[in-house]
């Protein structure tokens, strides 16, 4: 592995059954189950490890009807990552399923877009339509980290390390960012909720939890521009990710997969 090339893992930690029509703005004519899986991601380099998003705690999931399948910490430890040793956590956006587990990474510096912190602490949060996907304690925890000197803000596109960069796309939230990673198979983009499912970006049909529809649609173009190919884009909640990519190691099938491996 070169100094600017990384292994990339998707770690499933929860599941939620829902009908297809709830996953597309304007609905969907198909009456079938189209569940969401919930992931955190790990980027493992020769010298440094980065975690992308921190998931939610089981009690938070239960309150929202989501089933935790294995805590994020368990999935990370299964591939040799000790949360206590992680020094960088990239938060794609501040929704409850991406920014919880406040005490999981006690040494980490958190990377967040300026616009996301403005969004989740500003006047938009006066509207329940926008606040329902946030947990106030997650936002408060990030403010506390800020005053502890543990938050690094980004404005648009930024290099996090050689071979890793973040890029603002907005859409789902005002400050949503995606992560571009150099791997042995080329540039992979962790789309997070820029596209929940392969179908959202493939069919150009936005997910209905959205701050700005135009930004979400433009975000699909940005994903393609950043990735080496459309097949190098990893959506944020699609169970098909676990079918397309190989297990990180024997025994982790359906739980942790290698995204830098050939499909």
In the sheet that holds 233-235, the strands lie side by side as 157-161, 164-168, 177-183, 186-192, 233-235
pLDDT per position as a tens digit, 96-153: 999 999 999 999 999 999 999 999 999 999 999 999 999 999 999 999 999 999 999 9
pLDDT per position as a tens digit, 136-195: 999 999 999 999 999 999 999 999 999 999 999 999 999 999 999 999 999 999 999 999
Question: What confidence score (pLDDT) does residue 185 get?
Answer: 96
- The neighbour count for residue 144, using CB atoms within 10 Å, is 12
- 7-258: CATH homologous superfamily? Ribonuclease Z/Hydroxyacylglutathione hydrolase-like (3.60.15.10)
Residue the block writes with tokens 């990552």: 81
Q: What is the pTM of this model?
A: 0.97
Residue 223 CA to residue 55 CA, distance in Å, equals 22
- The neighbour count for residue 85, using CB atoms within 10 Å, is 11
Backbone angles phi, psi at 159, to 5 degrees: -85, 125
pLDDT per position as a tens digit, 24-64: 999 998 889 999 999 999 999 999 999 999 999 999 999 99
The H or E element spanning position 89 is strand 88-90
Instruction: Show me where the domains of the chain are located.
Output: 7-258
């Amino acid at each position: 592995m070169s100094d600017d090339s990384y292994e990339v893992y998707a770690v499933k930690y929860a599941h939620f059954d829902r009908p297809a029509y709830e996953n597309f703005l304007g609905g969907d004519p198909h009456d079938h189950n189209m569940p969401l899986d919930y992931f955190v991601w790990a980027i493992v380099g020769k010298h440094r490890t980065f975690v992308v998003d921190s998931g939610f705690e089981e009690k938070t999931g239960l309150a929202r009807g989501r089933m935790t399948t294995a805590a994020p910490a368990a999935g990370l430890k299964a591939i040799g990552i000790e949360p206590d040793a992680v020094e960088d956590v990239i938060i794609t956006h501040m929704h409850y399923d991406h920014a919880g587990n406040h005490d999981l990474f006690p040494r980490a510096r958190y990377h967040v877009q300026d616009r996301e912190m403005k969004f989740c602490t500003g006047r938009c949060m006066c509207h329940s339509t926008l606040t329902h996907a946030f947990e106030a304690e997650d936002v408060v925890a990030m403010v506390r980290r800020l005053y502890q000197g543990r938050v690094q803000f980004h404005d648009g596109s930024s290099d996090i390390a050689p071979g890793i960069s973040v890029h603002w796309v907005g859409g789902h939230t005002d400050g949503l960012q995606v992560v571009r990673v150099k791997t042995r198979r080329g540039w992979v983009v962790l789309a997070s909720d820029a596209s929940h499912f392969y179908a959202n970006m493939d069919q150009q049909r936005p997910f209905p939890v959205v701050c700005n529809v135009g930004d979400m649609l433009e975000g699909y173009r940005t994903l393609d521009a950043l990735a080496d190919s459309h097949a190098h884009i990893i959506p944020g909640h699609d169970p098909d990710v676990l079918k397309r990519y190989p297990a990180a190691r024997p025994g982790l099938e359906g739980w942790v997969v290698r995204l830098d491996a050939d499909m």
